[in-house]
Chain A
Amino acid sequence: MGKNVFVTKYSQLPVNLGKTVLIGEKNIALFKLSNGKVYAIENRCPHREGVLAEGMISGEYVFCPMHNWKIGIVDGVVQEPDEGCVRTFPVKIQNDDIFIVIEDLDSQSIKYPDKCVYNESFNE
C-alpha cells in the first residue's frame, strides 16, 4: 500500500517546467505537461545522475540537462540509443491538490517499467 503525500497545488505548477520535490530522502521531479497531465519520476538520470527536473520537456519526454539523454516522463524509460530507466511514482489529483503516491519501500510493489530489468541507480 502506498500513501498519498500532498505536494503542491495543480494551479501553481508551471507547464513544461519541472519542479524539484523532496520527500524525505527522495528526490522527485514533478512535471505538468502541455496536455495538462502531471507525472512524477525519480529526479536522477540513470546515466550520470543529472537532475531531470531541470531538463527540457518535449511532449512526454524530458531531455536530461547533463548529457541530453531522452527519458519518457510517463513510463520512465530511457529512449534509444541509450538504455535504462528511472522510477515513476503514481500521481493523484483531487480538486486542485496534487498528491504523489509513495510506496512502502520494503514492499515488493515498487513498479519499474517493463523494459527495465535491473536498475542500478535505484537501490536505496
Chain B
Amino acid sequence: MPRQKLVIVGNGMAGIRCLEEILKIDPDRFDVTVFGNEPYPNYNRIQLSKVLQGDTVLEDITLNSWDWYEKNDIRLYPGETVIEIDQDNHLVKTDKNRITPYDKLILATGSNPFILPLPGVDKKGVITFRNIKDCLKIIEYSKRSKDAVVIGGGLLGLESARGLLDLGLNVKVVHISDYLMNRQLDKTASHLLQLQLEKQGMEFLLNKKTVEITGNEYADGLKFSDGDELKADLVIMAVGIRPNIKLAEENGIPTHRGIIVNDFMETKIPDIYAVGECVEHQGCCYGLVAPLYQQGKVLANHLCEEKTDGYTGSIDSAKLKVSGVDVFSAGQINEQENTKTIKSYDGWGMTYKKVLVENGKIKGAILFGDTRESTHLSRLINKEADVKEYLNTETEKNSETSVVCSMQDDEIICGCNGVEKGTIVQAIKEKGLTTVAQVKACTNASRSCGTCKSLVADLLKLTIGDEFDSTKKEEPICECTTMTRDEVVSAIRTMGLTNVREVMNVLDWENKEGCSKCRPAINYYLNMVNPSHYVDDQESRFVNERMHANIQMNGTYSVVPRMYGGVTNSDELRKIADIADKYQVPMIKLTGGQRIDLLGVDKEDLPKMWKDLNMRSGFAYAKSVRTVKTCVGEKFCRFGTQDSIDMGIQLEKKFEGLNTPHKVKMGVSACPRSCAESGIKDVGVIGVQGGWEIYVGGNGGTKLRTADLLCKVKESGEVLEYAGAFLQYYRENAKYLERTSAWIERVGIEHVRDVLSSKETRDQLNQRMDEALSTIEDPWASVLSNKETQKKLYQKVYVGGNEK
C-alpha cells in the first residue's frame, strides 16, 4: 500500500513536535512534506530570548538539524509559504507555484506578533520579537542605537528588555497596566519583580498608553496619551501575539480567534487538522509550548489511529527567563469572592508565595524569589488537588537539598515537554544515562525553555548516586567537555550520532570547535561504533593519518611500503632502489618492524612515489595495526617448531589497515627463543610443539611491559580467531590513545581472558571485526584515484616561478 501523503504547513515547534510523535509511533506510515516560510530548520524559538541575552548563540538553538529531515525522509521546503488550499482536490499551493497533494493536512502556522495600529509603527527601528530574523535585526540595530524602549511589560517584553541591557543599551519598558506581568502576577509579586529588574538597570513607565511613534525615516521617540514624550532610537513592540489564521481564513476553514478544532485537533474540514499557537480549542488559544506539545501528541496518535482521550485543554503556567529573577505563576492568580489564599511574604529576602484555594481545591499559585516548589504546585493545580495534600507535603519537606527526592513518579519535571519524573528515572536506569545532555536527547526533558535543567541534574544524582560520582572521577576526554570516554561512546550509541560536529553539539561541548585531543578521539569512536556508514573526518585526523605518511622534523615525510611479515624479493628491492634514486631520497633505513623506510620525501612527491611503487601502504604512520614481525621459522630455522612467516603474513593480511585506539604491533616467533620479540608486542604469538601461545599487552617502548599469556591454541585458525576477538574487544573498550599495555593494566588480564573464554562472545566480536575490516581501503590507492584529494592535501601554491 502506498504511504499516505502528510503535508505540514509551518516548520515550527508545534508542527515538528507532532511529526516527531508520529515518527515515534509509526515511522513508515506517512510520506511527509513540510513547508516553512522561515529559511531555517526547526529551531527553539524560546531560546531567542537567551540569544539576545548572550547566553547562547543562534547556531546552538536548532532543534532538528537538516540531517534529521534527511534521515527521516522528510521533504522540507524552507523559505516557502503555502498560500492556497484546494479542499476538493486535496492540494496545497505555495508562493513558488509548487502544487503538492495531501491525504492529511496539518496547519501549524503559529502566531504573529501583534502590532499596535499607531501612526509611525512602520518606521525603521520599530521591531517585533518573534523569529530569528527579528533577533538578528535587533542585534544589528543595537549597534547603532543608544536608547531602547520596549512597549509591553509582559513575559516577552521583559525578556527582550533584559537582552537589550545585555547589548549595552539604556532600556525603558512602557506598560499600559499599572503593574508588570499583570496577566501572570498579582500586585505584590509584580512589585518585587519591578524592584529586582530596576536593580538590573531597567526603567519603567507604567500606566502609559503609547499613541504615536515619532521620527522621519527612523524612529526617534514615542508620544503618550497624557502628552508625555520619550526619546528612543530602537523600539521593540512586544504587546502580545495573534494566532496566524490567514491561510485558514482565506481558504474556508472555520476560524474565530484561532483555527477552531475539536478535542482531536480536527478542523471543521475533513482531513485538515491544526496544532499549535494558531489553534483555538474550546475558546482558548495558547502561547506556551507545553499545551502545544500535548496537542501535538494527541494529533499524532489520532493520525496513527491510536486511541486517546483527546485534548482537554491546559492550565497556563509561566516562568520568566531573566537571569537573577525567579518568578513562577500557574492557573488562577487573582482572588475572587470564594477563594482563600495561603500566603507568605518576606520583604527583606524578597520572596513571596501565594497559593489560591477554592472549595478546598488548589487552583493557582504565584512564586517569587524561590521557585523550587513550582513543579510540585503545577501538578497539584493541574489535578485540582485537595489543599490537604499540599499542606502535608509542605510540612514533610524539611531539607532543601533536592525537591526531586520527595516528588512522586508521575510529577512533571519538565513542564514544557510534560516529562514525568518516572520517565526520566526509567530512562536513566535502562539506557545507562549519566549526563543532562543524554537525558535531553532520550526523553526531551529540558529541550525547550531549559529552566528544568537543574532538576534533571538532581534526578541523575538521585538515581545513579555513587555511580554518578564515580563516573565523574574518570577524567573527561579533554578540556572541551566534562564527559568521559564511556559517556561519549554510550551517547554515540544511544543517540545514533553520526559526525564529529554533531557529537560536540549535542553533548554541549564547552569549546564548540573541539581540540586536537577530543576530535581525533570522537572520530575514532564514531568509526568504531559504526564502521560501515561512518565517513572519516579528515579535519579531525592528525597530520600523519591525514597524509598517510609520517611527518619528520623538517616537514618532510617518510614512506614505508607494505611487506607482509617482513618478506620481500629482489624485484621489489630493485624497484624501491630505483624510486629512491628518482626522488633523491636522502635516507633509506630498515625499521624496527622489519620494513624499509624512505625518509625525507617532500609532500608533493608522496602521491607520485606511491604510484611508481605500486605497493600498498605500510601504515607505519597510523593508529592502526602496523607490522607483524616474524622470525624465519620452521622453513629454514633448525629450532623452529611452526611456520611463523606464514602465520605472520596471515595475521598481517587479515588486520592490515584496521583502525585501533593506538598503534598495534605484532610479532610471530616459531619457538620460545622469540626472535620476533613476541613478548613485548601488543599481540605476540609464539610457536610451541603442537600449537601456539598467544600473548597480549606487551610493550617495548617508553613503558616497557612484558606481555601476558592470553591462551594456548592448537591451530593457526584459532590464532586468528583469538587475535580478532582480542583486538575487537580492545577497540570497543579502550580509550583513544591507550596502548594495549595500558589498557590491560587498567582492566586486568583476568578480565580479558574471562571475556574471551566464551566461544559465543568471540564469535560476536569477530563478526563486528569483520564488518570493520570489510570497509578498509588502501589509503594510497584511494588518494591516487582521487585528483581532488591530491590537490587538496598534497599540492602547494608557488608564487614567483620557483615551482618544481
A interface list, Cβ under 8 A from B = 5-8, 12, 14-17, 19-24, 30, 34, 48-51, 54-59, 61, 63, 65-66, 68, 70
Contacts and interface: CB of A to CB of B under 8 A. Distances in A.
Given A17-B538, A56-B542, A48 B553 contact: yes
Contacts of A7: 797, 799
B799 A5 contact: yes
B55 interface: no
Given A58-B511, A58-B513, 15 more contacts: A17-B793, A19-B796, A20-B603, A20-B796, A21-B799, A22-B797, A24-B799, A30-B797, A55-B543, A56-B540, A56-B541, A65-B551, A66-B553, A68-B516, A70-B515
B140 to A, nearest CB: 18
Nearest to A57: B539
A56 to B, nearest CB: 5
A59 B543 contact: no
Interface residues of B, number: 30
Interface string B86-98: 0000000000000
B71 interface: no
Contact of B539 (A17, A20, A22, A30): A17
Contacts of A68: 516
Interface in B537-569: 538-543, 546-547, 551, 553-555
A14 B800 CA distance: 22
Contact of B797 (A19, A24, A66): A19
B512 interface: yes
Contacts of A58: 511, 513-516, 519
A63 B513 CA distance: 12
A15 B555 CA distance: 21
29 contacts: A7-B797, A8-B797, A15-B539, A16-B539, A17-B792, A17-B793, A20-B797, A21-B796, A22-B796, A22-B798, A22-B799, A24-B799, A34-B513, A49-B555, A51-B555, A54-B543, A54-B555, A56-B520, A57-B539, A58-B511, A58-B513, A58-B514, A58-B519, A59-B511, A63-B516, A65-B542, A66-B551, A66-B553, A70-B516
A31 to B, nearest CB: 11
Contacts of A23: 799-800
A49 B798 CA distance: 20
B516 A56 contact: yes
Nearest to B802: A22
Contacts of B511: 58-59
Contacts of A54: 543, 546-547, 551, 555
A28 to B, nearest CB: 9
B795 to A, nearest CB: 8
A40 B480 CA distance: 26
B542 A6 contact: no
B797 A56 contact: no
B513 A24 contact: no
Contacts of A34: 513
A109 B547 CA distance: 37
A37 to B, nearest CB: 14
Contacts of B603: 20
A64 to B, nearest CB: 9
B555 A50 contact: yes
Contacts of B541: 56
Contacts of B547: 54
Interface of B: 511-516, 519-520, 538-543, 546-547, 551, 553-555, 603, 791-793, 796-800, 802
Nearest to B520: A56
Contacts of A56: 516, 519-520, 539-543
B294 to A, nearest CB: 39
B739 to A, nearest CB: 18
Contacts of B539: 15-17, 56-57
Nearest to B801: A24
A58 B555 CA distance: 21
Contact of A65 (B513, B520, B543): B543
A54 B545 CA distance: 11
A49 B96 CA distance: 56
B555 A21 contact: no
A70 B799 CA distance: 28
A5 to B, nearest CB: 5
Centre residue among B512, B516, B546 by max chain A CB count within 10 A: B516
Top 5 nearest A-B pairs by Cβ distance? Answer: A59-B513, A65-B543, A63-B516, A51-B555, A20-B796
A105 B772 CA distance: 54
B793 A24 contact: no
Nearest to B791: A12
Centre residue among B515, B539, B555, B800 by max chain A CB count within 10 A: B555
B302 to A, nearest CB: 43
A6 B799 contact: yes
Contacts of B793: 17
B431 to A, nearest CB: 31
Nearest to B512: A59
A24 B799 CA distance: 7
A50 B554 CA distance: 7
A48 B798 CA distance: 24
Contact of B792 (A6, A14, A24): A14
Nearest to A15: B539
A16 B519 CA distance: 13
A8 B799 CA distance: 10
Contacts of A66: 551, 553
A65 B540 CA distance: 12
Contacts of A17: 538-539, 546, 792-793
Contacts of A6: 799
A119 to B, nearest CB: 19
B58 to A, nearest CB: 13
Contacts of A24: 799-800, 802
A116 B114 CA distance: 55
A49 B552 CA distance: 11
A90 to B, nearest CB: 15
A8 B516 CA distance: 27
Contacts of A70: 515-516
Nearest to B547: A54
A21 B513 CA distance: 25
A55 B547 CA distance: 11
Contacts of A14: 792
A20 B520 CA distance: 22
Contacts of B800: 22-24
Contacts of A19: 796-797
B382 to A, nearest CB: 45
B93 to A, nearest CB: 36
B621 to A, nearest CB: 12
B539 to A, nearest CB: 4
A30 B796 CA distance: 10
B557 to A, nearest CB: 10
Contacts of B797: 7-8, 19-22, 30
Nearest to B789: A14
Contacts of B792: 14, 17
A33 to B, nearest CB: 9
A97 B792 CA distance: 17
A56 B551 CA distance: 14
Contacts of A30: 797
A16 B551 CA distance: 19
Contacts of A63: 515-516
A51 B796 CA distance: 13
A24 to B, nearest CB: 5
Nearest to A20: B796
Nearest to A34: B513
Contacts of A5: 799
A123 to B, nearest CB: 19
Nearest to B544: A65
Centre residue among A19, A51, A54 by max chain B CB count within 10 A: A54
Contacts of B798: 22
A21 B802 CA distance: 11
A58 B542 CA distance: 12
A114 B594 CA distance: 50
A76 to B, nearest CB: 18
